[in-house]
Each structure stands twice: as C-alpha cells, then as structure tokens.
Amino acid sequence: MTVYAIIGGTGLTQLEGLTLKDSLSLDTPYGAPSAPIQRGEFAGREVLFLARHGHPHRFPPHQVNYRANLWALKQAGAEAVLAVNAVGGIHAAMGSGHLCVPHQIVDYTWGREHTYFAGDIDHVTHIDFSHPYDEVLRQKLVAALQALGHPHSSHGVYAATQGPRLETVAEIAKLERDGCDIVGMTGMPEAALARELELPYACLSLVVNPAAGKSSGIITMAEIEQALHDGIGKVRAVLARVLVS
C-alpha cells in the first residue's frame, strides 16, 4: 500500500487520531526539517506526518525549510504527499469554511530556496510542471469531500504569495485578474519540490477568511482562528477517508 505523508499547515501542527509509533529527527543535505517526522497509524493506515511550521508553530511561511521537509519525508519512506493549507478566499464561492482542491497554482513568492537543482550539479534539469498537482490524488480528495457532503470546490487556482503579511486590496484585485481563486503563502515551492523528487502531491485548502477587499471589514486573527477551529475536523475526516480508499 502507498505510504502517505501528510504535511500539516496552520491549525494542524498535530494530527489528532494518529497513533504514534516513533518520531524521526532526520538531517538532510539542506538542513533540518521544520519538525521531527511522526510515523504512526491513522485511520488504519501507516502514515507520516510533518508540521510545516514546526510544533509549536514557529516558522513563518518564507522561512520554512521546504527543501529539507520534502527530502526528509522521502527519506522516511513517503510515496505520496497530501498537503493541508489554510488560505484566503478570492472567488465568491470561497467563503470561510469552504474546502478547495486546487488544480493549478501561480507562484508570486521570491527569495526562497525553491529547487534541488542548484549549486554544484552535473547538468541542468527542467521538470514538467504544467499540471502541478497529481490528478489521481486530487480525485481521491474530491471523492472524499463528495462522500462526506462538505461544501467544496473540485478545482481552483492557488496564488502563492510571499507573506508573512496578508495582501493588500489592490494585490488581491491583481490576483483575481490573474485568474486566482484562493491565496496562501505555503503552496510554493513545496509543490515543485515534490515534483522534483517524483513524489505525487496534492493540496487540500481550507478557506479561513475572505481575502482583502472581499468583505466589509478588516481581516482579524480571531476570525481566522475561529475558522480553523471550525474547519480542521472536516480536514481530518477528509484525510482519513482518503487513506482508507
């Protein structure tokens, strides 16, 4: 059976329901990952779990060691990756609590270590990234959402921004003109690094706030934390259903 790795984002620094077998503190050529990799049983399946921002939550999006995280997961035996991301909603359908399985991504980040093909290498390598998410994994997430009856979108374009600040109203308007439906800070370079390591990768995005200018008020952390509290149980249920499918 496929060994799945789950990368937890904001609100999912621990995987409730995981029966822990061991915790792996791995080193990599790219430094230490955000946290030890937890190996255990979840929903009857052996899984790996990594807290993207560390546990406790301490690494902002632009300082996450994405290269070490993906490398360590593969080193630990991961064969596919399910990533969880908290995002803002741009499209009108993407209200707080909505779940989206994006099919495309636009990278607006800068200055991040974004590839393994750098430094002292033997030859230049270009990966195909036309379709950044693995379609088989995407469809498993969509099927789980449909079976559970959670409001969701089976497609969406993820805008990956630099952070850690939230975006301006003008920036969100630009992203919308670019065709983006949701906005987050951790979708890249994670997805591209998984592709470089030939790890099938898909993303489950939980909308935790309307993006800037998409509501009448300002965005507050209290609003985001409440949406995370209300939605993270749905995320766990979706992941569990994928694992037993």
- Enumerate the known binding-site residues for phosphate: 10, 52-53, 186
pLDDT of residue 106: 98
- Enumerate the known binding-site residues for substrate: 185, 209-211
Give yes or no for a contact between 173 and 147, defined as CB atoms under 8 angstroms apart.
no
Respond yes or no on whether the N-terminal peptide bond of residue 151 is cis (omega within 30° of 0). no
Cα angle 131, 137, 156 (rounded to 5 degrees) comes to: 50
pLDDT band at 15 (very low <50, low <70, confident <90, very high): low
Radius of gyration (Cα) for the chain, nearest Å?
Answer: 17
- Tell me which of 3-7, 37-41, 137-141, 193-197 is least confident: 37-41
Average pLDDT, the chain: 91
CATH of the domain at 220: 3.40.50.1580
Residue 130 included in any domain: yes
Number of domains within the chain = 1
- Tell me which of 13-17, 107-111, 120-124, 168-172 is least confident: 13-17
Average pLDDT of 159-164?
96
Say if residue 243's pLDDT is above 60. Answer: yes
pTM for the model stands at 0.92
- Enumerate the known binding-site residues: 10, 52-53, 185-186, 209-211
Domain that holds residue 215: 4-116+126-244
Distances 23 to 44, 48, 161 between C-alpha atoms, Å: 18, 9, 31
Residue 121 included in any domain: no
pLDDT of residue 119: 75
Residue 78 included in any domain: yes
Say if residue 81's pLDDT is above 90. Answer: yes
Average pLDDT of 103-126?
89
Could you identify the residue written with the tokens 């990594």?
Answer: 50
Q: Find all residues with CB under 8 Å of 28, minimum gap 6, and list them.
A: 67, 68, 71, 72, 75
Strand 37-42, strand 19-24: pairing: antiparallel
